[in-house]
Every structure is written in C-alpha cells, then in structure tokens.
Amino acid sequence: MIERTPILNTITHVVLFVGFLASITPFVVVAIAASHDLVAVNLVPMPMLPGGHFWENLHTAWTTADLGPKLVNSFIFAGGVAAGKVLISAITAFAIVFFRFPGRQAIFWAIFITLMLPLEVRIVPTYAVAADVFEPYRTILDVTGLNGLIESIAGVRLDLKFGLLNSYAGLILPLVATATGTFLYRQFFLTIPDELVEAAKMDGAGPIRFFVDVLLPLSRNNVAALATIMFLWAWNQYLWPLLVTTEPSHATAVTELKQLIPNVGGIPEWNIAMAGTLIVMTPTLVVVVAMQRWFVRGLISTEK
Amino acid sequence: MADISLRKVAKSYGKTSVVEALDLDIHSGEFIVVLGPSGCGKSTLLRMIAGLEEISGGEIAIEDRVVDRLEPRERGCAMVFQNYALYPHMTVADNIGYSLKVAGVPKAERRARIEKVAATLALDTLLDRRPAQLSGGQRQRVAMGRAMIREPKVFLFDEPLSNLDAKLRVQMRIEIRKLHNRLAATSIFVTHDQVEAMTLADRIVVMNAGKVEQVGTPLDLWNRPASRFVAGFVGSPPMNLVEATIAADGAGVLADGTRIDLPEHRLARDAAVIVGVRAEDVRIGPAVNDPRLVLGVEFIERLGSASLVHGRLAGADFVVTAPPALAEGAPEGLALTLPVDRLHLFDAVDGRRIETDASSVEALPIAFETVAAPAL
Ligand SMILES: Nc1ncnc2c1ncn2[C@@H]1O[C@H](COP(=O)(O)OP(=O)(O)OP(=O)(O)O)[C@@H](O)[C@H]1O
Ligand SMILES: [Mg+2]
C-alpha cells in the first residue's frame, strides 16, 4: 500500500518512540544500578552514568543467591511447562476440532471457562492436591463408603499418599493445562480445509498419522509462538514455585531473587539485587530474540 | 477396474434429504460423468462412494463387495479434489508419494514409482517444489499424480478442472481422457459443466435435486432427453422450450394462438405439453402453413462460425442458430419453421418425455468411410 501522510508518519514515530522509552527506561536503570558500588547506588538521586563495578556485582549476586543451580531449575521448570502446554493444547484442540463425539461442545466450554480461573484463584485447592495427590479420590472413597467396602473385602485400608511438594513434577504439572493454548490451536486447526483432512483419509492416514505428518508441521509457527509465550510466562512465575518448593534444591531463579533483596534494616545492597535481576532476566531476552521470527508469524497469520 | 453398483442409496442431513433412493450401475473401466446444477448432490454422491460421507440408506458395492462400512482407504478409490487439497508443507514428490509412505512402501520403491508417475504427468522437473510454488495447472497434475500412484480401482474426480482457466481446462480435459484410455480404471467425474460432460463421458448421469434424471451416452442425452430438465440443461445454448396445448386435430397451439404441426402422438385434446427444439434444428424462413411463426428478435450473439439470434416466441425465450451473414442485417422479426421430425414433447406437469414417432429418429445417419489412420 502506498500512502503519503507525512504528518501521520511523524505522529506514529513519536508515539512509537515514547513507547520505546517507557519500556526501555526501567531496564537501563536496572543496568546502571547494577554497575555502581554500595555507596553510589544509595545516593539520592542515583548517578545516571554507569559505574565500574558491574562484573564484580554480577559475581557477588551469582554466588550469594547460588544462581547457577537455580537457573538450571528455572530452565527445567519453564521448559517443562512450555513443552507440556504445547503438547496438551495441541492434543486437546485436535480432539475438539477433528472428532465428533458426545459432549464435545460441553468439554470445549469447560476448558474455556478455566480461563476465568487463573492459578491465583484456585491456589489453595491446587496446593492441597499437589501436597497430597490422591486426596480427592480418598475423599470420594470415604464419602461413598467404598473404602469401608474395600476394607471389609480385602482386609486392608487403602491409604494412598503421594505428594508433589519439592519436585519438578510438582512445579510443572499444575501449570501445564492451558485454555489459552487450546484456544490458539483450535483457531488454527479450524483454518485447515476439510479437503486436506479428507485427502489424508483417502491416502490412508489414520488420525495419529494425520496429526504427526500434517497438523504438527503445519502448525510449527503456532508451536513456536505458544512455546515462547509459555516459556516466558513460566519463567516469571513467582507464587506457585514459592509455595510448592520449600527446599532451596528445587527453588527457581525468580523466587531466589528475594535472597538478594535487602531486608529492612539490613545493608541496602541494591546494586547486587539489580545485578541478580539482570542475570535472571537474560535468558528470557535470549529466548525472545531467538524465537522472534517464528513467534510473530505464529501469532499474526498462517503460512500461505 | 471395478464394477460399482448403488442400490437405493440415500443421504439426508437431519430432515433435509440431499440424495434420494439412487440406483446406478457403473461398469468396470467406464468413464462416468455426473452432471447437474450446483447443489444437486453430485459431490455428496461422490463422497459417499469414496467413504468420506456416511450413507443414510441403501447399499454401495464395489466389485461385488459391499463397502458401506469400510474406511475410505479400504475401498480402493482415489480422489482428486476440487481445490486439489495438496499438503502445503510437503514437496511435490512427498505429496504424490504420501499414500505409499503411509502404506509402508520402502523408500527406494517409493521413489521409483513417484518418478514414473511424475514422468507421465510431465512433473519430473518439479518434484522438489512445494505446492505454493506451482501454477494452478501444475497443482492439478500433482493432485492427479497423488491419485494415480496408488493404482486405484476407481478414480473419483470432484470438479477437478473448475479452478483452471478456459484454455487449460480444455487441455487438462483431453489429458484426463487420454489417461483414462491408458489406465482403463473406472472413473467417476463430477461436474456442472455440460461441455466437459459431453466430451469426457462414456455415459452421463444427469442429476437434479438429489435424483437421477437420466443415465445415458452423450448422444442419448442429446437426441432423446428424458425430461424437460435434461433438455434444458444439456447443450449450449439449451434446448428451446415452448408451452403448447393440443388441438382437436392433434396440432399444437402456442400461447399466442399460433398452430404448429407436431409429430404423431397419442395425447388427448387440450393436454398441456412443452415443445422442445434445439436452436440449430430450427429452420429460418417461412413454412408453407399460415399464420407464420415469427421470432421477435431481441439481440444477436456473434460466435464467428454462426450467430445466435435471441428473441421471444409466443411469450417464451427462444434462440435460433443463424448463418453469420444474417447477423449483419439484423431483422426485427424472423420467420421460422419448426421441423416436425426434430421436435421433442414433454409433459407440462411432470416434465417427462412423451414418446412420439419422431423419437425414433436418431441423429441423421451420415455415410462415411472408415479409413485406416496414417501411421505416425
Ligand atoms: N452438512 C450438511 N448439512 C446440510 N446440508 C448439506 C450439508 N452438506 C451439504 N448439504 C446440502 O446438500 C446439497 C448437495 O450438496 P453437494 O455438495 O453434494 O452439491 P453439489 O452438487 O456438489 O454442488 P456444487 O456443484 O456446488 O459443488 C446442497 O443443497 C447442500 O446445501
Ligand atoms: Mg460439489
């Protein structure tokens, strides 16, 4: 499209630039703060030129908060959540779009409604289940009296206990189901022409073959987009990892950042805290930059 | 090669019936064209044979084997879709060979067969391209290749040429017919284009609103249309259809009172009929009897080899084929003669053909000598 709107062009550029400044400033402040020593960072106002203690601060932050293993945990956690979400949402959307079965619509809406129940809202029951996976089933057994029945027949009382606290499974599984992902895939699958499905049928491909050979390759942009978003989202999760990991061995980098935040009355080492923040932020930046091309394509359009 | 027989095959979506109790026998090796207007159930019929659509009643047998409950892949049919439905992420070679891959054919054999099919369709140089990098005609050939490679017993085509431009369509039409002559697999070809149907088919099945109107060779349809619908659908321009009532002496009386001679018939007096006559069968020039039949000329289509004179005759639209020279002097009224032996009669109520003595007159016999084709 050819347009000649110099005034509009100028305005849009100004707006873009303001937006850019608004989003970059906090990063710049963090980076500058991370380069000062204890005294300089606590001056009011803080000097706006970088100081010379950058690498030193990074090193201190790294060792104090033990960020190495924590970053590994974060990668496992965020990677697991992203992979799980991509897989589960692809499969659920596949079922909902390509199969006719009773209750299909109901199931779709049930999934859709979970959009209204983010983790924060259902955190207590989720925690209860993670702490004791079989509790709901035990309750059902008890309430229905089935347990008494089993006891009288088998002579043993069913007492299943299986907790997920302080484990990767506990970190990942409760976050894996995702209505957003299912929805994204559903919209994409709906654009697949019926004739393509039928052509695959005529070629003798069953549902799994079709899924693997046709749907997955066609939706690779979606996979990239969803995986990126979900990786970032999981990486930045705070509440859930904080709750489910009580031991430092499974803590994630984001929750461990609080080790670096100065306590009230403690030494105000904000330079170290900011250095730690930079370290924790870097992987997400790398992921966004690396995935950007796919990611944008997956969100805006399907391949021609 | 397969015999296909449909027995009382029906399809309905809820209460709407799309195909009604359809009977059809297709001989092995035959090229059948299913012809009908949009929405008459042609695709539905084809998809029921392919197994992509469940049938609501009746029975379909391929080679004496009832296939109603079989999956598409077990029926031995291959299909060419209207929009080709190529896999966009696969190369031409992978598209053509996908069914073999699914069937677990080893890679080397697969490659050999892909190359053979590609050579037949002149696709050899395009094997590594993606569908998006092909022209419409090339995509169409890939779709054909994908169907051919399985060496199916039955080829199903759902308007495979409708997305091509006019010239390519004619060319592909010839290719398809040649291919059929070579492979001799039973083919069912769906189209709403009557020229395609006439040129391709061994036999044509004319469908209308979910029912079969007529099954016959192209010439059958042309010479003895079984119903008013077939008469109006087959042929370009379509057959002229004029309402008439039968007079006491057996002649026809048009809406404006003009009398025309009809072929010998057994209709009662005052019976309402439709008189059909093809544009090229009408003779220009007055007949001996009076009052004369005059066409009120509205406009003239000049085709070069002939001109089509459109106008109204006794309140009905009417077309006459005229020599090109006539177009120049464009008269306002044109005296016509309807040759008695070229008239078709149809029941005005149910539209069925009424047999007359003219019905027995087939296409005028032309004497010709059979000459051996020159060696190439
Ligand atoms: N899922 C459906 N539910 C209800 N009616 C349907 C459904 N699919 C098709 N139909 C109806 O069935 C009729 C026949 O459809 P079909 O696709 O067989 O037509 P067609 O002869 O192939 O037409 P065209 O030449 O336009 O492709 C149409 O009137 C259509 O509205
Ligand atoms: Mg159709």
In terms of C-beta density within 10 A (0-12 exposed, 13-18 middle, 19 or more buried), how is residue B107 classed?
Answer: exposed
Confidence of residue A304 (pLDDT cuts 50, 70, 90): very low
* Ligand at shortest distance from the CA of B42: 1
For A152-177, the pLDDT digits (tens) are 776 666 666 677 788 888 888 888 87
B208 lines ligand 1 (CB under 6 A): no
Question: Residue B39 Cα, ligand 2 centroid: separation in angstroms?
Answer: 7
Residues B212 and B251 in one domain: no
Tokens encoding A187? 């919209």
Does the pLDDT at position B331 exceed 80? no
Sheet holding B186-191, edge to edge: B77-80, B154-158, B186-191, B31-35, B203-208, B211-216
Residues B336 and B283 in one domain: yes
Residues B81 and B206 in one domain: yes
CATH code of residue B326: 2.40.50.140
Tokens encoding B95? 């598209």
Question: Residue B74 Cα, ligand 1 centroid: separation in angstroms?
Answer: 25
For A114-123, the pLDDT digits (tens) are 888 888 888 8
Question: Residue A195 Cα, ligand 2 centroid: separation in angstroms?
Answer: 12
- The helix/strand count (H/E) of chain A reads as 17, 0
pLDDT for position A114:
85
Contacts of range A288-296, beta carbons closer than 8 Å, 24 or more positions apart: A288/A228, A288/A232, A291/A224, A291/A227, A291/A228, A294/A220, A294/A221, A294/A224, A294/A225, A294/A228, A295/A224, A295/A225, A295/A228, A295/A229, A296/A225
pLDDT for position A199:
92
Neighbouring C-alpha atoms within 13 Å toward the C-beta of B251: 10
- Percentage of chain A modeled with pLDDT above 90: 19
Does the pLDDT at position A303 exceed 50? no
Residues B199 and B241 in one domain: no
**Contact flag A203-B73 (C-beta cutoff 8 Å):** yes
Phi and psi at residue B23, to the nearest 5°: -110, 135
pLDDT for position A158:
60
Q: Does any domain span residue B228?
A: no
- Rounded-to-integer distance, Cα B119 and Cα B145, Å: 10
Does the pLDDT at position B327 exceed 80? no
Residues B62 and B26: beta-carbon distance below 8 Å: no
Residues B209 and B282 in one domain: no
For A189-207, the pLDDT digits (tens) are 999 998 899 999 999 888 9
B5 at interface of A, judged by CB pairs closer than 8 A: no
Stated pTM of the model = 0.78
Residues A285 and A293: beta-carbon distance below 8 Å: no
In this structure, chain A runs to a length of 304
Residues B282 and B346 in one domain: yes
B192 lines ligand 1 (CB under 6 A): yes
Neighbouring C-alpha atoms within 13 Å toward the C-beta of B366: 4
Residues B199 and B333 in one domain: no
Residue A238 DSSP code = -
Q: Does domain A65-260 bear CATH number 1.10.10.10?
A: no
Domain span holding position B270 = 237-354
Q: Does any domain span residue B369?
A: no
Residues B20 and B144 in one domain: yes
Confidence of residue B287 (pLDDT cuts 50, 70, 90): low
User: Ligand 1 pocket check: which of B19, B35, B42 to mutate, most ligand atoms within 8 Å of Cβ?
Assistant: B42
More confident call, A118 vs B145:
B145
**Complex-level ipTM:** 0.78
Tokens encoding A261? 């935040």
Q: Does any domain span residue B370?
A: no
For chain B, give the mean pLDDT. 86
Confidence of residue A56 (pLDDT cuts 50, 70, 90): confident
Residue B281's SS3 state is helix
Q: Does any domain span residue B255?
A: yes
Q: Does any domain span residue B164?
A: yes
Does the pLDDT at position B360 exceed 80? no
**Contact flag B102-A204 (C-beta cutoff 8 Å):** yes
Residue A36 DSSP code = S
Q: Does any domain span residue B139?
A: yes
Tokens encoding A123? 């955190």
Residues B280 and B210 in one domain: no
Residues A152 and A57: beta-carbon distance below 8 Å: no
How many domains, chain B? 2
B40 lines ligand 1 (CB under 6 A): yes
DSSP B109-164: HHHHHHHHHHHHTT-GGGTT--GGGS-HHHHHHHHHHHHHTT--SEEEEESTTTTS
Confidence of residue B274 (pLDDT cuts 50, 70, 90): very high
- Rounded-to-integer distance, Cα B19 and Cα B36, Å: 13
CATH code of residue B71: 3.40.50.300
- Arithmetic mean of pLDDT, B133-148: 90
Residues B41 and B189 in one domain: yes
- Arithmetic mean of pLDDT, B154-173: 87
Phi and psi at residue B263, to the nearest 5°: -65, 165
Torsion from C-alpha of A149, A150, A152, A155, nearest 10 degrees: -170
Residues B52 and B164 in one domain: yes
Most confident of the ranges B2-6, B150-154, B214-218: B214-218
Count of CB pairs separated by less than 8 Å, A with B: 59
For A256-287, the pLDDT digits (tens) are 888 888 877 778 788 888 888 888 888 998 98
Residues B147 and B46 in one domain: yes
For A93-108, the pLDDT digits (tens) are 999 999 988 988 898 8
- Percentage of chain B modeled with pLDDT above 90: 35
- Arithmetic mean of pLDDT, A141-149: 73
Pairing status of strand B154-158 against strand B77-80: parallel
Confidence of residue B370 (pLDDT cuts 50, 70, 90): low
Considering only A117-121, B77-81, B351-355, which range has the smallest mean pLDDT? A117-121
Map out the domains of chain A as residue ranges: 65-260
Tokens encoding B291? 């009052």
- Arithmetic mean of pLDDT, B157-170: 86
Residue B292 DSSP code = P
Phi and psi at residue B57, to the nearest 5°: -170, 160
More confident call, B114 vs B376:
B114
Nearest atom (ligand 1) to Cα of B45: 18
* Ligand at shortest distance from the CA of B208: 1
- Arithmetic mean of pLDDT, B34-43: 91
